[in-house]
Amino acid sequence: MNNETLIKNLRNVPDFPIPGIQFKDVSTLFKNAECLKIMTDELYAMYKDKGITKVVGIESRGFVVGAALAYKLGAGFVMCRKPGKLPADTRKESYMKEYGKDTIEIHSDAITENDVVLLHDDLLATGGSMKAAYNLVKQFNPKQVFINFIIELTIEGLNGRAVFGPEVEMTTLMKI
């Protein structure tokens, strides 16, 4: 898609969170009403005919557009959070990050076998957190799972898309 308005409004933060990283700050897209509308409308067009019943947003930037999209699709919204943030019984999945191990959780009653799930996050780099979220959601045996990102980094060596098999339907709004 690579919408020019989105690209123009995306902030690049050099050397964050560590030297050498060019952080893509989507908060500039969230604060701009036109950009938020473009992202939500484009995602709605992609998924309106897929039968989505739940949108799962990955903490925390995945909550913003994920919740707006769930509303527009007439679907429920599920938060995928870091440990200790959800108050009821949860299922967990751990994964390795560039600088250590992390874990994500979803409430145990958040998804059923009758659900069609869209997993949403802001950015695909190495794919670690989304792969963990995907594995976690698959534990619920939903009818189908789709994956979406606002941005897919195409920097050599990252190739986050490769951690998912060809059976996973994945879309992005921007490849940069």
Exactly one of 4, 34, 59, 61 is catalytic; which is it?
61
The DSSP call for residue 94 is: E
- In the residue annotation, 93 being an active-site residue is answered as no
From residue 164, give the alpha-carbon distance in Å to each of 44, 66, 85, 167: 23, 21, 27, 8
- In the residue annotation, 81 being an active-site residue is answered as no
Kindly give, in sequence order, each residue whose CB lies less than 8 Å from that of residue 13, ignoring residues fewer than 6 positions away.
22, 23, 25
Exactly one of 11, 34, 98, 169 is catalytic; which is it?
98
Strand partners, 169: 146
Give the Cα separation of 154 and 10 in Å (integer).
16
Give the Cα separation of 162 and 110 in Å (integer).
28
From residue 160, give the alpha-carbon distance in Å to each of 10, 65, 112, 155: 20, 21, 27, 10
Q: Give, in degrees to the nearest 5, the angle at Cα 53 between 52 and 54.
A: 100
Looking at the annotation, which residues are catalytic? Answer: 61, 98
